[in-house]
Amino acid sequence: MEFESFQSLFIKNFECNGLKNLITEENIEKFYHLTHLMLEKNSVMNITAIKEIEKIIPLHYADCAMIASYIPKNSKVVDIGCGGGFPTLPLSIIRSDILVTGVDSTDKKVRYVAETAKILKLDRISTISARAEELINTPQMRESFDVVTSRAVARLNILSELCIPFIKTGGYFVVMKGAAGHEELEEAKNGIDKLGGRIICVENKKLFIDENNTENRVIIVIEKVFSTPQQYPRQFGQIKKKPL
Ligand code: SAH
């Protein structure tokens, strides 16, 4: 797709999603470049099931951009299960003030994200290839981030145990969920409490795809109000078998 066509699709979609403030020439150029790098890599490894640019803009870029306003200025962010770089890459493009660490257990995805960040000159991205529940035991990881994000990794009752231990007291877990978010939240409430979290905001959003389609999203913000007890996170087998 030519740059001009991409640009008009991008502008229309971001405007319809209430993200007008993120539309700049530089951001559009970076997203255009990212789209090409991603689709090129997608022919040799599985990064995205969404291949049409008309869908990539809403379902990957606008979807991830929607959480930007929940992230305080100059935050140190960790994205658990970043896969092919969502939300790591879009967040870093639109928020030059934040540091983002993309974490994923699949090494080749992490390598792709690191290479892409380098090409796009997103030098405030760093990457780590590891499982979250193991990485937490590395010195300087536990409770060292202002914000944790995570998209499409696990149900919230499991995800909370993987993510909340990374946040400093006073920091936030910004959860991206589809329509099932409310139900997942009910199931996860008990665990969130035990892990030191407190739900401070649950917001329903409509993601505009095109004239005929929208999708429901729920953004949940959990504040870390006390330090996570040392026994969490447990090993993954236990987390999965017996969620908190
Ligand atoms: N966040 C990306 C990828 C979602 S796919 C997106 O929204 O497109 C889920 C990713 O989570 C996979 O890449 C998988 O390798 C990773 N993952 C699953 N469990 C994990 C864990 N315990 N620690 C780190 N990464 C994990």
Q: What are the pLDDT digits (tens) for 150-206?
A: 999 999 999 999 999 999 999 999 999 999 999 999 999 999 999 999 999 999 999
Calculate the dihedral angle through the C-alpha atoms of 163, 146, 192, 153, rounding to the nearest 10 degrees.
-30
214 Cβ inside 6 Å of ligand 1? no
pLDDT of residue 187: 97
Q: Phi first, then psi: give them for residue 197, nearest 5 degrees.
A: -100, 155
Residue for token digits 């505009």? 208
pLDDT at 136 over 90: yes
Q: How confident is the model at residue 241 (pLDDT cuts 50, 70, 90)?
A: very high
- Global model pTM greater than 0.85: yes
Distance CA 223, CA 127 (A): 24
Between the CA of 153 and the centroid of ligand 1 the distance, in Å, is 5
- Which atom of ligand 1 is nearest the CA belonging to 162? 22
82 Cβ inside 6 Å of ligand 1? yes
Residue for token digits 């109000």? 225
Closest CA to 239 of 116, 121, 154: 154
What does the block give as tokens for 168?
């400093």
- Which atom of ligand 1 is nearest the CA belonging to 47? 8
106 Cβ inside 6 Å of ligand 1? yes
Strands 145-151 and 99-104: unpaired
58 secondary structure, DSSP code:
I
Between the CA of 236 and the centroid of ligand 1 the distance, in Å, is 14
Burial of 99 (0-12, 13-18, 19+ CB in 10 A): middle
145-170 burial code (b ≥16 CB/10 A, e <16): bbbbbbbebbebbbbbbbbbbbbeee
Between the CA of 151 and the centroid of ligand 1 the distance, in Å, is 8
pLDDT of residue 139: 87
Distance CA 149, CA 77 (A): 7
- Tens of pLDDT, residues 53-105: 999 999 999 999 999 999 999 999 999 999 999 999 999 999 999 999 999 99
- Which atom of ligand 1 is nearest the CA belonging to 104? 25
- Tens of pLDDT, residues 208-220: 999 999 999 999 9
168 Cβ inside 6 Å of ligand 1? no
Residue nearest atom 14 of ligand 1, based on CA coordinates: 81
Q: First CA to last CA across the chain, in angstroms?
A: 47
Task: Return the best residue to mutate from 42, 79, 105 for the ligand 1 pocket (most ligand atoms within 8 A of CB).
Answer: 105
